[in-house]
């Protein structure tokens, strides 16, 4: 089957669901992933025929069901690195890259520091920090064994050492008697159940709800648990970073103030949404 015929089939069958530019992007990514064909080859050789088009046509069928492309190919890019993903972990988002960038700006480079990532999922935060802070000792916890298995594969794939541990932050008191952290960072579940109605099927029907949702009456459940954990497990002047629900910025400020954290900074993402918050533990 010729490439141009397959591309036309993509546009014809996905046109009611996705914009044309995104469909072309899907086609180009799949052609390179499955057949090693670069975009320039696709443009200059439209009459090129595939001896086996089964893979890309199967992917087309999954895209029609609004399955995320990243789950179809089994990988995504985050902070310039490749990460394996499956439906046991969230697909890393660009706004989480902004959180990582903020942590890196505030961390002391070339300094031996201890960092903890709570709810690591694919490991994207912990692994990115370990890659760019080679002197740091990075720890990561998650309640899901499946997520930890994927995170460990990603750490190996990207050539970093992260200390992974299965743990539930809702009940965890201390990770180690010997360690207090310079930085604790987390992107915990923060989408309220009532916000499901605004979510697209590709997310709602595919990504793990365990990593996405909290009850409407307990929207800060994980933030409270992590903040309480940080009180006893952050060093003095240690930093606490969160990715947050855009509608709960003021509630997060109140939470951190009530727990005696200081130098609180609420930060917007590139879409001008309140998406991150930082606080410092200054009490002894």
Residues 6+ apart with CB under 8 A from 185: 99, 103, 115, 116, 117, 118, 125, 129, 240, 241, 242
Q: Tokens for 123, please give them.
A: 């490991």
Q: Tokens for 252, please give them.
A: 């997060």
Phi/psi of residue 165, each to 5°? -150, 140
Phi/psi of residue 25, each to 5°? -65, -45
Name the 3-class secondary structure at 84.
Answer: strand
Tell me whether residue 145 is annotated as binding: no
**Strand pairing of 137-142 and 114-118?**
parallel
Tell me whether residue 80 is annotated as binding: no
Tell me whether residue 189 is annotated as binding: yes
**DSSP assignments along 187-232, one per residue:** ----EEGGGGGGS-HHHHTTS-GGGTEE-TT-TTHHHHHHHHHHHH
Tell me whether residue 120 is annotated as binding: yes
Tell me whether residue 188 is annotated as binding: yes
Angle separating helix axes 20-35 and 54-64, nearest 10 degrees: 140
Tell me whether residue 282 is annotated as binding: no
Tell me whether residue 15 is annotated as binding: no
* Residues 141 and 199: beta-carbon distance below 8 Å: no
Tell me whether residue 76 is annotated as binding: no
Tell me whether residue 128 is annotated as binding: no
Burial of 38 (0-12, 13-18, 19+ CB in 10 A): exposed
Tell me whether residue 159 is annotated as binding: no
Binding-site residues for S-adenosyl-L-methionine, please?
Answer: 119-123, 142, 187
Binding-site residues, please?
Answer: 119-123, 142, 187-190
Binding-site residues for substrate, please?
Answer: 187-190
């Amino acid at each position: 089957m010729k490439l141009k015929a397959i591309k036309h089939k993509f546009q014809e069958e996905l046109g009611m669901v996705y914009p044309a530019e995104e469909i072309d992007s899907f086609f180009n990514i799949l052609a390179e992933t499955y057949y090693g064909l670069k975009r320039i080859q696709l443009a200059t050789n439209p009459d090129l025929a595939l001896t086996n088009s089964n893979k890309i046509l199967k992917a087309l069928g999954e895209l029609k069901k609004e399955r995320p492309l990243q789950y179809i190919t089994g990988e995504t890019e985050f902070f310039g690195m490749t990460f394996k993903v499956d439906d046991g972990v969230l697909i890393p988002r660009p706004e989480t890259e902004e959180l990582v960038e903020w942590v890196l700006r505030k961390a002391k480079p070339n300094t031996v520091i201890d960092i903890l990532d709570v709810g690591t999922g694919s490991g994207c935060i912990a692994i990115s920090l370990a890659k760019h802070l080679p002197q740091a000792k990075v720890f990561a916890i998650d309640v899901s064994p499946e997520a930890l298995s994927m995170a460990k594969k990603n750490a190996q794939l990207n050539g970093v050492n992260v200390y992974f541990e299965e743990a539930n932050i809702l009940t965890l008191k201390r990770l180690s008697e010997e360690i207090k952290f310079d930085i604790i960072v987390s992107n915990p579940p923060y989408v309220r159940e009532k916000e499901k109605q605004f979510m697209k099927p590709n997310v709602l029907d595919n990504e793990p709800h365990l990593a996405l949702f909290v009850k409407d009456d307990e929207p800060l459940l994980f933030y409270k648990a992590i903040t309480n954990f940080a009180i006893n497990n952050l060093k003095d002047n240690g930093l606490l970073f969160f990715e947050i629900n855009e509608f709960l910025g003021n509630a997060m400020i109140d939470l951190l103030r009530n727990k005696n954290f200081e130098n609180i900074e609420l930060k917007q993402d590139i879409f001008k949404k309140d998406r991150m918050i930082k606080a410092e533990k200054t009490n002894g």
